[in-house]
A and B are shown apart, each in its own frame.
Chain A
Amino acid sequence: MSAVPIRLALVGNPNCGKTSLFNRLTGARAKVANYPGVTVERRSGMVTALENPAELVDLPGTYSLFVTSPDEQVARDVILGQLAGERRPDLLVAVVDACNLRLGLRLVLELRSLNRPMVLALNQMDEARRRGISINTAALSQAIGIPIIETVAVNSQGVTELRKVLDSYAQQPPIPNGEQVLTLSDRQESVEALYDQIESLIKQHVIQPAEFPRWQDRLDAVVMHPVLGLVVLFTTLLVIFQAVFAWATPAVDLIDGAFAALGEGVAGTLPDGILKDFIVDGLIAGVGGVLVFLPQILILFLFILILEDTGYLTRAAFLLDRPMRELGLSGRSFIPLLSSFACAVPGIMATRTIADPRERFITIMVAPLMTCSARLPVYALIIAAFIPQQTVWGIFNLQGLTLFVLYFAGVVSAALIAWFMRRRAAREEFPLLLELPSYRWPMAYHLLIGLRERAWIFLRRVGTIILALSIVLWFLATFPGAPEGATQPAIDYSFAGQLGHFMQPLFAPLGFNWQMCIALIPAMGAREVAVSALATVYAVGEESIDAALGATLAASWSLPVAYAYLAWFVYAPQCISTIAVVKRETNSAKATTFFTIYLFALAYFAAWATYQIASAIVN
């Protein structure tokens, strides 16, 4: 066994089945991280069942070494050994979709000019055969001078043989001058000459039917139809939205209930004291607070993975490109933004499907303006307490109308901010050039691996931050404890309470009293906590919180203040989980700070304006 494992890199066009092949070769044990300084995902793993150790890196899909996106840039830099901290791969494993030979071979011929060791995996051979494509692999291999292995990523067919070939390369110790950087000389041959070569290769070694499978074209005629396509799209979106919102609820309730029961169980066995409080209210509640996001994340990503694998996602992006472009976004931002209505955390994680970094940034920045489900308890409490049950204009319920206005305010603000941020950036038209891949049946194996990966990323990278911050919040709300003979609720004496009192003058222009300010602090953990925090500071009994608390609030807040509090919750990033996920996804402290400050500033302004205007009207 050699000390240093040989390094292999999978290179290929987007949609060539590269990632499925990666999962097959590594037994789906991928380490997922970001490349330094960029938000391009780096996936690597050890190839399983080899005699000699070999590390496999799954490079982002690329059409060419002459790059146009950050993804392609990373792929090229790794291949050339130009990326700091990344050793140049010892062997390139080029993956070519047998159904899309021209595009794949073009990249292979370009890679060949680098004179690096390379093998070619001719993927999706089963589908190619079904379409009547017949390839003389041996002759093609000889003609281009690269070993070719036929593979089918759906099953292990061919993958075993690919392993054998890789193993024989892995036997040789890595080439010592692995640090050496290759440079890309100016394009030696024109695109035309390269394509002429490909045409003659295909003419000699491949029998290819001219036509696409009929059902694919028929499906496209519906899916990309301006009317039928919209029906398909909105049905799909409705199902997703419904699933993330409703299907996740039982699972969320189950997790919530389980952790509450666990907390009670532990509380029963431990002696009263600070340790018990810490374990029950800090640790158990904190872990529970992380895990409740998991059902929504899993359900949303299951849908996204299915839509991606079948090839539908790019068609949806295609249909919605124009309307979204009016805001400076593109069709790709639609699903992340829609999911943010359930929860901004999975929504922001879903922005990975957006290729343009600027657009991805803007989408992340405006995603929390979509009214998430955690805001509903706060809205419901205040609306029920202050807005009369009244019918307006014959059909509308005034309470429902208020809720609609709150949702609408979020959407309109997001549109304006996206538009404004795009305006400020140098407005250069970014070419779309999106491949619409062939429809394919999704693979359960691939879906499960993708889901596991997302869940793991969330729990490890985001969960740990959320847990740490939850414990800090618990600490703030607990210490110092209430003195002997205290007349006020305990939170009033804590750091959080002091902070609330300290903040109050700052929030006086918005009409907020100190109770409202205190409630904002634990609500940083999750917005809906504002309800129980208000109950605590107003010392309302645990039973039937909403009704009793509503009555208390109605008695102690004026109407403009209630409106201002609602306006605050439309904008404020009152959610450490969202801030944590923004940090993880932008990979930038600066962007995260900007995100937090701009939303708080917006919330402050909106609440101030609401309070002042409402006060002027009421008086």
Chain B
Amino acid sequence: MNTAIPTAAITSGLRLDQCAKGANVRVVNLIEQPLFGAQDEHVSLRLKELGFLPGAPLKVIGFGLLGADPLAVQVNGTKFALRRAEAAKICVEPISI
């Protein structure tokens, strides 16, 4: 296990890439993705700039062709396509609507 996972992530334990289609969730925080190597920090920054900030409500709206990858997410009224590796950086918690 990666000990760097912040406590907030452990309490909910859910990541965006594990969400089903149509799920309404809220961002808890962003965690490290070793796949991106040195780029990881940039990816985090970009995700935040696009609105994936703690507290932001997200909706999973669709998946790509194979292995449910990439996934389409709506945030702040804008839709984005994220690959699983990027989505796995986003810890979320379910919200009811």
Name A residues whose Cβ lies closer than 8 Å to a Cβ of B.
63-64, 66, 68, 99-100, 102-103, 106, 191-192, 195, 208, 212, 217, 220-221, 224-226, 230, 314, 317-323, 428-429, 431-437
| Residue in A closest to B38 when the chains form the complex, CB atoms | A428
The interface residues of chain A lying within 8 Å CB-to-CB of B48 are 191-192
Q: What is the 8 Å Cβ interface bit string for chain B, positions 69-81, against chain A (1 contact, 0 not)?
A: 1101010111111
Q: Are the C-beta atoms of A100 and B77 separated by less than 8 Å? A: yes
The interface residues of chain A lying within 8 Å CB-to-CB of B43 are 431, 433
Q: Are the C-beta atoms of A433 and B82 separated by less than 8 Å? A: yes
Minimum CB–CB distance from A75 to chain B (whole Å) comes to 14
Q: Are the C-beta atoms of B62 and A103 separated by less than 8 Å? A: no
Q: Are the C-beta atoms of A435 and B78 separated by less than 8 Å? A: yes
| A103 with B81, Cβ < 8 A, contacts A191-B49, A431-B39, A431-B46 known | no
The interface residues of chain A lying within 8 Å CB-to-CB of B50 are 63, 103, 433, 435
Q: Cα distance A490–B68 when bound, in Å? A: 63
Q: What is the 8 Å Cβ interface bit string for chain B, positions 53-65, against chain A (1 contact, 0 not)?
A: 1100000011111
- 16 inter-chain pairs at a CB distance below 8 angstroms, sorted by A residue, are A66-B45, A191-B53, A195-B51, A220-B61, A221-B62, A319-B64, A320-B64, A321-B65, A431-B36, A431-B39, A431-B46, A433-B47, A433-B86, A435-B50, A435-B81, A436-B80
Q: What is the 8 Å Cβ interface bit string for chain B, positions 15-34, against chain A (1 contact, 0 not)?
A: 00000000000000000000
Q: Are the C-beta atoms of A432 and B81 separated by less than 8 Å? A: yes
Q: Cα distance A437–B39 when bound, in Å? A: 25
Which of A99, A192, A323, A432 has most chain B Cβ within 10 Å?
Answer: A432
In the A-B complex, the 6 residue pairs with the smallest Cβ-Cβ separation, listed nearest first, are A224-B62, A436-B79, A434-B81, A191-B48, A322-B66, A318-B81
Q: Are the C-beta atoms of B61 and A432 separated by less than 8 Å? A: no
Q: Cα distance A230–B85 when bound, in Å? A: 24
The interface residues of chain A lying within 8 Å CB-to-CB of B61 are 217, 220-221, 224
Q: Are the C-beta atoms of B65 and A66 separated by less than 8 Å? A: no
Q: Are the C-beta atoms of A314 and B81 separated by less than 8 Å? A: yes
Minimum CB–CB distance from A425 to chain B (whole Å) comes to 14
| A431 with B65, Cβ < 8 A, contacts A100-B78, A322-B70 known | no
| A431 with B78, Cβ < 8 A, contacts A102-B51, A191-B48, A320-B65 known | no
The interface residues of chain A lying within 8 Å CB-to-CB of B78 are 100, 102-103, 435
Minimum CB–CB distance from A354 to chain B (whole Å) comes to 15
Q: Cα distance A432–B72 when bound, in Å? A: 11
Minimum CB–CB distance from B19 to chain A (whole Å) comes to 15
How many residues of chain B are within 8 Å of chain A by beta carbon? 36
The interface residues of chain B lying within 8 Å CB-to-CB of A320 are 64-65
Which of A99, A191, A221, A434 has most chain B Cβ within 10 Å?
Answer: A191
Minimum CB–CB distance from B74 to chain A (whole Å) comes to 7
The interface residues of chain A lying within 8 Å CB-to-CB of B64 are 226, 318-322
Q: Are the C-beta atoms of B82 and A428 separated by less than 8 Å? A: no
Q: Cα distance A431–B51 when bound, in Å? A: 16
Q: Are the C-beta atoms of A226 and B49 separated by less than 8 Å? A: no
Interface majority SS (helix, strand, loop, mixed), chain B? mixed
Q: Are the C-beta atoms of B67 and A322 separated by less than 8 Å? A: yes
Minimum CB–CB distance from B65 to chain A (whole Å) comes to 5
Q: Cα distance A224–B42 when bound, in Å? A: 28
The interface residues of chain A lying within 8 Å CB-to-CB of B63 are 224, 226
| Residue in B closest to A430 when the chains form the complex, CB atoms | B39
Number of A-B contacts (CB under 8 A): 117
Q: Cα distance A208–B76 when bound, in Å? A: 11
Q: Are the C-beta atoms of B81 and A191 separated by less than 8 Å? A: no
The interface residues of chain A lying within 8 Å CB-to-CB of B35 are 429
The interface residues of chain B lying within 8 Å CB-to-CB of A437 are 79
Query: Out of B51, B77, B80, B83, which one reaches A321, CB within 8 Å?
Result: B83
The interface residues of chain B lying within 8 Å CB-to-CB of A431 are 36, 39, 43, 46, 83, 85-86
The interface residues of chain A lying within 8 Å CB-to-CB of B74 are 212
Minimum CB–CB distance from B61 to chain A (whole Å) comes to 6
Q: Are the C-beta atoms of A323 and B65 separated by less than 8 Å? A: yes
The interface residues of chain A lying within 8 Å CB-to-CB of B83 are 321, 429, 431-432
| A103 with B65, Cβ < 8 A, contacts A64-B46, A428-B37 known | no
Please name 5 further chain A to chain B contacts, defined as beta carbons within 8 Å, in addition to the given A429-B85, A431-B86, A436-B80, sorted by A numbering: A100-B77, A102-B78, A195-B51, A220-B61, A321-B81
Q: Cα distance A428–B64 when bound, in Å? A: 21
Q: Cα distance A68–B48 when bound, in Å? A: 13
Q: Cα distance A75–B36 when bound, in Å? A: 24
Q: Are the C-beta atoms of B72 and A106 separated by less than 8 Å? A: no
Q: Cα distance A320–B53 when bound, in Å? A: 28
Query: Out of B54, B69, B72, B80, which one reaches A322, CB within 8 Å?
Result: B69
| Residue in A closest to B67 when the chains form the complex, CB atoms | A322
The interface residues of chain A lying within 8 Å CB-to-CB of B36 are 428-429, 431
Q: Cα distance A431–B70 when bound, in Å? A: 11
Q: Are the C-beta atoms of A322 and B65 separated by less than 8 Å? A: yes
Minimum CB–CB distance from B59 to chain A (whole Å) comes to 10
The interface residues of chain B lying within 8 Å CB-to-CB of A106 are 49
Q: Cα distance A191–B30 when bound, in Å? A: 13
Minimum CB–CB distance from A460 to chain B (whole Å) comes to 35
The interface residues of chain B lying within 8 Å CB-to-CB of A433 are 43, 46-47, 50, 80-82, 86
Q: Cα distance A322–B77 when bound, in Å? A: 25
Query: Out of B42, B47, B65, which one reaches A230, CB within 8 Å?
Result: B65
Q: Are the C-beta atoms of A220 and B77 separated by less than 8 Å? A: no
Q: Are the C-beta atoms of A434 and B39 separated by less than 8 Å? A: no
Minimum CB–CB distance from A184 to chain B (whole Å) comes to 14
The interface residues of chain B lying within 8 Å CB-to-CB of A317 are 81
The interface residues of chain A lying within 8 Å CB-to-CB of B76 are 102-103
